[in-house]
Structure 1
Amino acid sequence: MKGLFCRAGVSDAEPKFVIQETTLPDVLTSHQVRVQVKACGLNPLDLKLLSDVGIQRDLIPVGREVAGVVRQVGPKVTFFQPEDEVVGILPLDSTCSGLCDSVDIDEHYLVQKPEKLSSVCVAAALRDGLCAYTALHTHARIAAGHTLLVMDGGSAFGLMCIQLACYHGVKVLTTSHSPQKHTFLEQLRPSVGVQEPLVARVIPVYNDSSDLLSVVLEETGGLGVDIVIDSGVRLQDEEEDEEKKLLPHKHDIISVLGVGGHWVTSHQDLQLDPPDCRLLHLKSASVSFLNPEVWTASSAQQGRYLHILKDIVEKMSTGVLRPQPEEAVPLYEATVAMETVQRHPKKKAVVQFSSDLK
């Protein structure tokens, strides 16, 4: 059996992705489940995070978001039985690559997959759903009546945040990074119920004429928003990278926050200057960091994590969460797809196994 692994580069060298032979043990441990993989989502590897938590290997398994069918269960497994369709995320320290025909995974990292939900869809969107759920519920503690600003709502993560927030009665504002995304967001409607726009205001940031602060204050009666969720920020005013120029400046985000507001950031190296901290203090606002790996890196809240995964797949099955469709690539293109994803972190890919092609 073959799997895809990453050979981390030395110093600044780019990591290389290689196909390696791998085997599974003959006997499963107490709570392990052997899953025949139908689809596997590909997301960028955070090699620095792996190093920080002490995971250092010559070959790092690639592909952790998996959907498939249970083929064998360990002697103490109680949640699943053979032929169950399941979905889950392999833990950080897993030695299995999700891009194998079969993987062994502890039953406490899996949930049942609804029958009407395709393996490709759930494998592609599970991580974004988990990030959105963590940002809105765990960090921001959203409630009906709140006002939310989602940066880059046209991204896969941003779209999940918008749909989840609207489901809970939150007023949503968002930014668009291109004319195409702007049109898409303006036309976004729920799949059930009253067909009103999901987004109260789409703010274009792909031209210099946009003024984020003035538009947000206009929409909130000068009060600012309760929650801001970013997908990266600019720490300096001058950025040469075209993609980074579209990101909001950290001061802009703090400025649009209302009193008691909450900023959820995915920027790992955020630096706040004394004036920024002073403004946050005056507003009694707070900042939290979104790390989606925290659920699988620690077993402290395993039950809550499983509840989140179950809720995500149920909402995807009923149409509350409708992720952007990802075109599946065959297994033989997985290496090239992963290289692209690693170089361009905002790109996504999902691999569909030939056994699941119909």
Structure 2
Amino acid sequence: MKGLYCRAAASDAQPKFVIQEATLPEELGSHQVRVQVKACGLSPLDLKLLADVGIQRDLIPVGREVAGVVLQVGPKVSFFQPEDKVVGILPLDSPCSGLCDAIDIDEHYLVQKPEKLSSVCAAASLRDGLCAYTALHTHARIAAGHTLLVMDGGSSFGLMCIQLACYHGVKVLTTSHSPQDHTFLEQLRPSVARVIQVYNGSSDLLPLVLEETGGLGVDIVIDSGVRLQDEEEPEAMKLHPHKHDIISVLGVGGHWVTSHQDLQLDPPDCRLLHLKSASLSFLNPEVWTASSAQQGRYLHILRDIVEKMSTGVLRPRPEEAVPLYEATVVMETVQRQQKKKAVVQL
């Protein structure tokens, strides 16, 4: 049995992805489930996060969003039976690569997969659905009547945020990072109130948001990256808003959910947040599997995500599945581009 693993490189080099042989123990743990993997989603590895939580290995398993069929259950498993179709996210410290033919995983990381939902769709979008739920419900506490600004709405994560917010009666504004994304997002209107172009070099974000909200600003902002400096930055970062722009578009009592790990706020930024009585949250999607404090809530979120995907409430942009023999090359692209996603069909 083969699996995909990452060999962490020196700090200034790109990590290498390799196919390695893997074996499973003969006996399952008390609450473990053996799953035959049908599809596995590939997301960028956060090597710094793994080091921060003390996970340091020569070979790090790759591919954690999995969908498959239960082959065998441990003696104390109560949620699943053989032949059940399941979907879940492997924990950070899992020794298994999701690209193995079969994996062992604790039953408390899995939920039943609805019959109407394909394995490829579930594996490709489960993580983004979880991120959207965490940002909107756990951090921002969305409610009907709120106004939401989603940066880069054409991304897989951004689209999940838009659809989930629209389902709950939230007015949604979003930005587009390319002409293709702009055309796609315009098709979502009138569910999306306004699509703001940021790829043409203009800086009209603040006046357009204030125009759309009657000068009051938005209740929630969810970013996909932030510019911290006005000096020269990489081309990809120029599409992201400056941190001052995000604070400026927030209304009184607003909430900013950021995925920027190294965000730094200067005293004038904090002063402006204070004047607006606004708040800031950091979005870390790994917190659910890194801590068991809210395991029941986590499983409830996963069940709701797959149920909404099966009924069409959440409709992710289709990801073309790639075969296993292309996984190494595809994962290198995913890691290099960071925002890109991929799914492997086994």
Q: TM-score range by the shorter chain?
A: over 0.9
Shift of 1:346: 1.0
Aligned residues: 345
Shift of 1:13: 2.0
1:93-130 superposed Cα distances (whole Å, 9 cap, x missing partner): 00000010000000000000001100000100000000
Shift of 1:251: 0.1
Q: Gaps spanning 5+ residues in structure 1: where? A: 192-198, 353-358
Shift of 1:238: 2.5
- Between the aligned partners of 1:22 and 1:206, the Cα distance in structure 2 is 44
Are the counterparts in 2 of residues 225 and 256 from structure 1 also a CA contact under 8 Å? yes
1:344 aligned residue: 337
SS in 2 for 1:174: strand
Question: Cα RMSD over matched residues?
Answer: 1.1
Which piece of structure 1 moves more, 54-63 or 240-249? 240-249
- Between the aligned partners of 1:26 and 1:190, the Cα distance in structure 2 is 55
Shift of 1:209: 3.3
Are the counterparts in 2 of residues 204 and 210 from structure 1 also a CA contact under 8 Å? no
- Between the aligned partners of 2:228 and 2:60, the Cα distance in structure 1 is 31
1:186-228 superposed Cα distances (whole Å, 9 cap, x missing partner): 111699xxxxxxx001111112334111111111111100000
- Between the aligned partners of 1:15 and 1:277, the Cα distance in structure 2 is 37
1:309-358 superposed Cα distances (whole Å, 9 cap, x missing partner): 00000000000000000000000111111111011111111000xxxxxx
1:217 aligned residue: 210
Shift of 1:16: 0.8
Are the counterparts in 2 of residues 4 and 17 from structure 1 also a CA contact under 8 Å? yes
1:156-192 superposed Cα distances (whole Å, 9 cap, x missing partner): 100000000000000000011112211111111699x
1:189 aligned residue: 189
SS in 2 for 1:278: helix
SS in 2 for 1:240: coil
Q: TM-score, normalised by structure 1?
A: 0.95
SS in 1 for 2:203: coil
SS in 1 for 2:229: coil
Distance 1:125 1:216, change over 3 A: same
Which piece of structure 1 moves more, 239-248 or 309-318? 239-248
SS in 2 for 1:272: coil
Distance 1:206 1:345, change over 3 A: same
Are the counterparts in 2 of residues 64 and 98 from structure 1 also a CA contact under 8 Å? yes
Are the counterparts in 2 of residues 2 and 21 from structure 1 also a CA contact under 8 Å? yes
SS in 1 for 2:333: helix
Are the counterparts in 2 of residues 86 and 112 from structure 1 also a CA contact under 8 Å? yes
- Between the aligned partners of 2:273 and 2:200, the Cα distance in structure 1 is 28
SS in 2 for 1:70: strand
Shift of 1:285: 0.2
- Between the aligned partners of 2:17 and 2:45, the Cα distance in structure 1 is 11
1:276 to 269, 283, 298: 269
Shift of 1:11: 2.8
Which piece of structure 1 moves more, 276-285 or 238-247? 238-247
Shift of 1:231: 0.2
1:9-30 superposed Cα distances (whole Å, 9 cap, x missing partner): 1232221111111110111010
Are the counterparts in 2 of residues 92 and 296 from structure 1 also a CA contact under 8 Å? yes
1:255-297 superposed Cα distances (whole Å, 9 cap, x missing partner): 0000000000000000000000000000000000000000000
Shift of 1:82: 0.2
- Between the aligned partners of 1:287 and 1:231, the Cα distance in structure 2 is 14
- Between the aligned partners of 2:18 and 2:152, the Cα distance in structure 1 is 33
- Between the aligned partners of 1:219 and 1:238, the Cα distance in structure 2 is 29
Are the counterparts in 2 of residues 203 and 210 from structure 1 also a CA contact under 8 Å? no
1:42-93 superposed Cα distances (whole Å, 9 cap, x missing partner): 0011010000001111110000000000000000000000000000000000
- Between the aligned partners of 2:331 and 2:183, the Cα distance in structure 1 is 29
- Between the aligned partners of 2:47 and 2:335, the Cα distance in structure 1 is 11
Once the two structures are aligned, what percentage of the paired residues are identical? Answer: 90
SS in 2 for 1:314: helix
- Between the aligned partners of 1:309 and 1:189, the Cα distance in structure 2 is 28
Displacement over 3 Å in runs of 4+: none
- Between the aligned partners of 1:245 and 1:263, the Cα distance in structure 2 is 20
Which piece of structure 1 moves more, 3-12 or 218-227? 3-12
- Between the aligned partners of 2:174 and 2:190, the Cα distance in structure 1 is 16
Are the counterparts in 2 of residues 190 and 320 from structure 1 also a CA contact under 8 Å? no
Which piece of structure 1 moves more, 180-189 or 165-174? 180-189
SS in 1 for 2:36: strand
- Between the aligned partners of 1:211 and 1:165, the Cα distance in structure 2 is 24
- Between the aligned partners of 2:315 and 2:233, the Cα distance in structure 1 is 34
- Between the aligned partners of 2:249 and 2:190, the Cα distance in structure 1 is 27
1:138-173 superposed Cα distances (whole Å, 9 cap, x missing partner): 000000000000001011100000000000000000
SS in 2 for 1:200: strand
